[in-house]
Amino acid sequence: MTEKRTVKVALLGLGTVGSGVYKLVERQQNEMVNKVGADLRIEKILVHNIGKKRDGVDASLLTDRWEDIIDDKEIEIVIEVMGGIEPARTMILEALNSGKNVVTANKDLVAEYGKELLDAAENNGVDFLFEAAVAGGIPIIRPLKQCLASNELDEVIGIINGTTNYILTKMTEDGSDYADVLKDAQAKGFAEADPTADVEGIDAANKLSILIALLFDQYIPPQEIPTTGISKITGAEIAAAASEGCKLKLIAHASIDADGNVTASVAPEKLPVSHPLAGVSNEYNAVYVTGDMVGDVMFYGKGAGALPTGSAIVGDIISIAKSI
């Protein structure tokens, strides 16, 4: 009888998303054997405060020493869910250069340093996957790279920030003011204490930069994408759009012409209520692409949250584990 293989994984960070990944892996231990053909075991979890009480987490897995992970040759997959640029970038580079596969949900990092990290992965014969970095739980990166690979894709339109979509939905449906809905979103965990990156369109621009690189093989830094947020949207503008049979949505939009010129923007736009994206409400996201053979295709689902994002991360882990 063949001995069952074990794939050892390390988790960098145990916040909202990290906890979601941990729960999913623990919950699906038996299913993992069937999906991967091996046991998937979380071997170490890097945390900032090792003394903090964490319910439901095996304390023996916790460490505050990066060396416990990078120097462990049996760890084959590193999952980065700390967020931010540093020390995440340095740790990911060290992991890739040590022959470890890496999965991340870090859209800021992928938008800024994605090429460097992908090059490092290729040079070391390992994978660097980031399905969760663009639209949370929606499978978008792998379908674009694989399922639609035979298509020439020339346009992408998306609602790729759940916070702003939630705010605009409530302003539209309830007639509430922006400031009141923002407070409600913060209370429900849909908005950060400092919501600037979301409400000013910065988060959406980061995600759009990643999509442009994947779709059009061109890199446009997020800061070079013309970006307008929703913080100045008024109830009067919402009502005016409704009177025209439209809804206001924060839209990320990119297209490429026959000469290879890419046009991109993030801004509130009036969409006819008949448009598929107009029906995307609350914290949900959607990405709408046009291909020369498949026509219009829309990917839809929850764009944020511990379990939806964790779902995309675990999908990447399974993909890697199958190929190890």
Give the containing element (helix H, strand E) for 164: helix 162-174
- All residues at 6 or more sequence positions from 295 whose CB lies less than 8 Å from its CB, including other chains: none
- Give the pair of three-digit tokens for residue 38: 């091996």
Residue 297 burial class via C-beta count within 10 angstroms: exposed 0-12, middle 13-18, buried 19 and up: middle
CB-based burial of residue 191 (10 Å sphere; 0-12 exposed, 13-18 middle, 19+ buried)?
Answer: buried
- 60 class by beta-carbon count within 10 Å (0-12 exposed, 13-18 middle, 19+ buried): exposed
Catalytic residues: 207
Tell which phi-psi region holds residue 244, choosing left (phi > 0), alpha (psi between -120 and 50) or beta: alpha
Q: Could you please report the per-residue DSSP string of 109-131? A: HHHHHHHHHHHHHHHTT--EE-T
